[in-house]
Amino acid sequence: MFRRLWRAMSLIPLLCLTLVLLNTCTSQGVAPGSTLYVQQLTSEPDAYNGKVVTVDGAYVWRPGDPGISVLALGVTTLDNGLDAQPLGETIWLEDFPAEVTEFLHRPGDAVYGFVRVSGTFTHGEGFGPGGQYTSQISVPRAEPIARIRRI
């Protein structure tokens, strides 16, 4: 009888530990310092406004009047890799480091590829050419996620 009671009592701490573990696994929050995605910033811009963030996304730069330098959910191109266009909502990138573009796609009319950028996220007034973007990241640091090898 004493053994049965001991066994039942030893299961209580195990069940409590399991409940705590399950509760932490279902958290919807983002841990400080973790990498975000573009859609997290664009869906809740006020939560990140004025904060330093690290974001993964598709970088698209196109020359022209006006030129673009944005971070998007993805990028689409023609079959030959030309005419890169950002997919989804975009974030204007201010001062994107030019040396990072060496490792991205450069078909001739644009530069594009998946990158991780870190910088201060700002949401509100218009950014970029003509103020057409509602969000901006000032980018002191960026790195390519996938590097293109040129032969």
pLDDT digits (tens, 9 = 90+) for 96-124: 999 999 999 999 899 999 999 999 999 99
pLDDT digits (tens, 9 = 90+) for 10-24: 656 554 445 444 455
Determine the 3-state secondary structure of 88 from DSSP: coil
Statement: residue 28 has pLDDT above 60: no
Question: Whose structure tokens read 């009319």?
Answer: 109
pLDDT top residue among 2 and 84:
84
What mean pLDDT is predicted for residues 29-46? 82
Peptide bond into 66 cis (omega under 30): yes
Question: Whose structure tokens read 């997919």?
Answer: 87
Q: What is the 3-state secondary structure (H, E, C) of 17-58?
A: HHHHHHHHHCCCCCCCCCCEEHHHHHHCHHHHCCCEEEEEEE
